[in-house]
Structure 1
Amino acid sequence: MQPVLRILHVQLLDVQRNLNTTFREVQGQIVTRNKYFATAQQGGGNDPGSTLFQCRNYLSIPDCAACFDVVSVQIRNCYGGAHGARVVDDGCFLRYETSAFFDQTTATFNAVSCGGNQTKGESSTFTSSVQQVLMNLQTTTPTITGFHAATKAQVPNNGPIIYAFARCIETVTQSGCFNCLNAASSDMPTCLPNSDGKAFADGCFMIYSTTSFFPGNQTISITPLKKQGSSKKG
């Protein structure tokens, strides 16, 4: 048994070393290059490592760096020598694997989180309004350079304002982004008519809320983009 234990010990050391190296590289990209999206790969040892970090674009760079500090500690607690782990936070997403995964969209992970309270008034109107906003985001976001969009819309008859945001990782294709958001938005109806909903997948993130969570100057009008198209990414 001793040789087997030694092999396992060496492999775990390789994973730990690669994790540390890629985390340092990602952190450097955030802080010194003001990046909201960063990847790093380390090919040494028996278990090459890949790390991907994605921060919400409506946050400041210091807030993104602080979010990375939090999730990088959390992911160490959950991977425990396994070959991969991920942590989803309100402000960012971190994933580490001992294999390549940067082009994945929904292959291994898809989840939804609901919050807030059920909306007052006409719930069917609120539900249809949220679904329309999410559908527009799903169509528009893949056409925008960087694959991210924030928007807001008011529910008819003086209803609440819906704030919504979508983001795909930058290493997927345009069609991969669309397919990922399609899968994410298809899970969102389980939250309605709650006032808050989030959907996560390997390659994307969507959120809606009746509470503002991004600066007003970052919103775009997604209806014209939906009709006309914008810059494309292959």
Structure 2
Amino acid sequence: MIQVSNLAFRYSPSVAIRFPDFSVARGQHFLLLGDSGSGKTTLLHLVGGLLRNYEGSVSVDSTELATLSETALDRFRGQKIGFIFQRNHLLSALSVEQNLMMSPYLAGLPIDNGRIADVLATLGLAEKRKSRVNTLSQGQAQRVAIARAVLNKPAIIFADEPTSALDDKNCDRVIALLLEAASQHESTLIIATHDQRLKSHLTQQIQLTAS
């Protein structure tokens, strides 16, 4: 599903970061570990097609990302990949439902109201469907971000530090939700984190070191 080889990214002509070669099969779950400055977020953005102009190879679902046009990459990402960012990037003035509807719309997929209802119910948010995002608690908004990420049944789910600001109870709840969502659709799950608590939930790891 994901194959990375000889990958490097230049922040400037004189500053570059190089990443280890690795491959992740369909349905596997990995932690992406490393200290601050090791490039965890950068690597997620590279394999997710959010950063371009890299050196080396990034192949996702047998497609080399560098060969795709911007338009094709946007469509590919929307159909194949679900992202959960450190900040949820929800549109606060819109309702939960409207935020979720943006996901299939941007991917060029039909909007499935039944699917929206099912995902919200799974995440305990059925009663919040019409609520504006700016009325939600932090934990509820985070679950909406997870719902948005899994709505299109992506082959890959990337999560960037999803538990860093959470207490133990909510950390366990969020990681359980991610694992359940990934398992339902045999999705590959990669979580970038420095949160040592997650090591008890996912044993397979990709380790980065600061250069």
TM band (smaller chain): 0.3 to 0.5
TM-score normalised by the chain length of structure 1: 0.30
Relative to the length of structure 2, the TM-score reads: 0.32
Relative contact order (C-alpha < 8 Å, sep 6+): which is higher? Answer: 2
Rg comparison, structure with higher value: 1
